[in-house]
Amino acid sequence: MAYVFEQMEATDYEKVNTKLKNRDSLDILRWANQTYGEKLVYACSFGAEAMVLLDLLSKIQKEAHILFLDTDFHFAETYELIERVKERYPTFRINMAKPALSPEEQAERYGDELWLKNPDQCCQIRKLDVLARELEPYDAWLSGLRREQSPTRANTEFVNQDKRFKKVKVCPLIHWTEEEIWMYIKLHQLPYNELHDQHYPSIGCTYCTKAVMPGEDTRSGRWAGTGKTECGLHAPTKGDS
């Protein structure tokens, strides 16, 4: 059976996840690389999990396709980190994908500071539409989601039916804890975003990311005070994550 979205039923995801159940993250990456080859892309946020996933991926596929949703609103530290990643893994094919609208065009069409007035629409334009466009040539995408990150991610499996983007989503890090992520980063002296050392556990756009005080939920600095917790790239329900 071809493991592509159009040919897979919900039970096929259960079967493949049962088959992969006791494998480790490297095995999952190997499976994804063998199954999808050039039709596999890693949609990378360049957060802490991404540093681990990139390093593991470099052991499997040195020329992996990496996709970064460049909203134009990222921190300077994030862009600087991407340059360091390019130096460490020079053969990765990193695509810095831009929205159809520049910040100026967005302001002209929807008014200033759309991220304050309507963050869902802003994320739609600057992230979701871009991901949908850039995933088009691929059958599957990798994501660094971990189950313990939030209740909406708790049911994520290794291989997921992504109904929103009509692709297979592969998540090799679902069982990793935050502590394990940081142990791996330190052990292998991986580059990481300097903002993590300044109380930013989860880093997105400058306008929607705040520092988090010790003891607070690690994702509470994202869209703080708006009730929004996810940008919409990762749908929450089981089988649709």
| Secondary element (H or E) of residue 93 | strand 93-97
Residue at token pair 């629409």 = 121
Question: CA nearest 126: which of 203, 41, 219, 204?
Answer: 204
Residue 95 phi, psi (nearest 5): -105, 110
The one catalytic residue in 231, 233, 234, 241 is: 231
Residue 128, interface with ligand SF4 (CB under 6 A)?
Answer: no
Residue at token pair 């460490």 = 88
Among 3, 89, 115, 165, binds ligand SF4 (CB under 6 A): 115
Residue 171 is assigned to a ligand binding site: no
Residue 44 is assigned to a ligand binding site: no
Please report how close the Cβ of residue 153 comes to ligand SF4 at its closest, in angstroms: 17
Among 54, 64, 82, 126, binds ligand SF4 (CB under 6 A): 126
Residue 122, classed as helix, strand or coil, is: helix
Residue 123, interface with ligand SF4 (CB under 6 A)?
Answer: yes
Measured from the CB atom, the residue of 68 and 176 that comes closer to ligand SF4 is 68
Please report how close the Cβ of residue 1 comes to ligand SF4 at its closest, in angstroms: 37
Alpha helix segments (H runs only) across 118-202 = 119-123, 129-135, 178-187
- Map 30-78 to HEC letters: HHHHHHHHHHEEEECCCCHHHHHHHHHHHHHCCCCEEEEECCCCECHHH
Measured from the CB atom, the residue of 47 and 119 that comes closer to ligand SF4 is 119
Residues 202-231 contacting ligand SF4, CB under 6 A? 204-205, 207-208, 231
**Is 231 noted as a catalytic residue in this protein?**
yes
What residues are annotated to the active site?
231
Q: Which residues bind ligand SF4 (CB under 6 A)?
A: 71, 73, 115, 119, 122-123, 126-127, 204-205, 207-208, 231
